[in-house]
Amino acid sequence: MKKVYVRWSCCLFVIAGVNMISCNEGGVKKPTPQADAAGTENPFYVDTAKIPAGKYGDAIRYGRDLMMHTAYLIGPEGVNGHYTNNKMNCTNCHQDGGTKPYSFNLQTSFRSYPEYRAREGKVLSLAERVNNCIMRPHLGRPLPFDSKEMIAFMAYLKWIGDSSKVTKSTPGVKPLPIEFPDTAASSVTGALLYGSHCARCHGLNGEGMMRPDNVTYTYPPLWGHQSYQPGSSMHRIIKMAQWLVANMPYDSATHLKPVLTHTQALDIAAFINNDAIHQRPFVQEFQYPDIEEKDIDYDRGPFADTFSVTQHKYGPYPPIIRYWKDRGRKR
Ligand code: HEC
Ligand code: HEC
């Protein structure tokens, strides 16, 4: 027995050695999904080839499929049910199935929940939180907690946490911190920037580009009745700007090499989320039972401070942040 063990470890050592060499051609290391050029390990890396066999593995695989191909499986044309009511996919916002840093990463979610949510004013389970995204950005109806789909989402969210090295403090789990200018975000400037940076994929009318099969998009929509509803977190200007800096334009921006400045991202987010110029699905329900806990860039009053609803939505944000800081609250 012992001999076999020794041989195995040698074998693994050799495999690891070969990997090292392959990343080291001509003395220059190439970045891989597992590590960057300096050899620093990528804590977000998950190897989907290592999803286990058996019932748990089947649920994880189905959960990943649901993240990547939401519309095909449970969208309006879904082959396994009709839960989401637009043709977007979870991975459009939680990129790489929730494993990309600074893209509303989901690798610590399984460990974090149940969690207190100001929006509902109560502790939510992870399944309830998943249903919030099914209902708001996807305009859908909640998945039953014992459905094959909800069980699969839970299995997948657990696995992407367990099989990576991400902790709650790993940079990239939380959205990218951005700096706020002393001026309000401008949807007029945002419109011009949108034309030069975004319209080639998302369309001049924010409609995105449908795939030929009409089931889902090549480029998801940014406004209109097929897009996320007001009250989705993506509808908040700060939240969207943090995501845009790290992720858009899709073919050129990374969090290490952003294309947009922070101010430009805020301006574009102000343009996309300006409901006076763009239509969205209608929603009646706006929450936050304790208005003191309302996020500062939420766009429905009342607020517990002296700033207007317009200033909350578009900024300038520094005076609001200072107001709450003076009262001992971090916003
Ligand atoms: C339009 C964009 C968008 C889409 C589509 C979307 N989400 Fe989200 N989701 C968000 C945003 C924004 C947040 C809040 C992130 C934050 O506050 O940092 C969020 C939060 C979450 C969270 C809570 C994460 C945490 O740790 O607190 C879960 C779980 C989640 N989404 C799952 C899903 C699932 C599953 C789908 C597909 C059915 C989905 N989302 C589709 C934008 C989206
Ligand atoms: C090269 C094409 C391309 C360009 C240019 C581009 N995007 Fe995207 N965008 C995408 C793709 C593809 C996705 C879906 C990502 C995925 O599924 O992994 C996406 C997703 C999004 C989403 C989240 C999903 C949704 O529809 O709400 C937003 C918001 C967004 N893009 C905004 C922008 C903005 C703003 C710009 C300009 C600064 C921009 N994009 C430029 C291709 C593009």
Q: What confidence tens digit (pLDDT) does each residue in 139-178 have?
A: 999 999 999 999 999 999 999 999 999 999 999 999 999 9
Minimum CA distance residue for ligand 1 atom 13:
233
The whole-number average pLDDT for the span 124-149 is 97
Pocket test for ligand 1, best of 104, 168, 243 (most atoms within 8 A of CB): 104
- Tokens linked to 275: 């409901």
pLDDT value of residue 37: 86
| pLDDT, the chain, mean | 91
Asked if residue 19 has pLDDT above 90, the reply is: no
Lowest mean pLDDT among 146-155, 174-183, 246-255, 293-302: 293-302
Amino acid of residue 263: T
d(C-alpha 306, C-alpha 266), whole Å: 22
DSSP state of 144: P
Mean pLDDT, residues 99-113? 98
Tally Cβ neighbours within 10 Å of residue 16. 9
For the cut 50, the answer to whether the pLDDT of residue 259 exceeds it is yes
138, two tokens: 């996807």
Strand partners, 261: none
Q: Whose CA is nearest to atom 27 of ligand 2?
A: 222
> Does residue 304 sit in helix, strand or coil?
coil
- φ/ψ of residue 275, rounded to 5: -75, -10
Q: List 210's β-bridge partners, or say none.
A: 217
Handedness of CA 201, 206, 212, 214 (dihedral sign): positive
pLDDT band at 32 (very low <50, low <70, confident <90, very high): confident
Q: By alpha-carbon position, which residue is closest to atom 15 of ligand 2?
A: 92
The pTM of this model reads 0.92
Nearest ligand to the C-alpha atom of residue 246 = 2
pLDDT confidence tier of residue 286, bands split at 50, 70 and 90: low
Report the distance separating Cα 118 and Cα 319, nearest Å.
Answer: 22
Pocket of ligand 1 contains residue 136 by CB under 6 Å: no
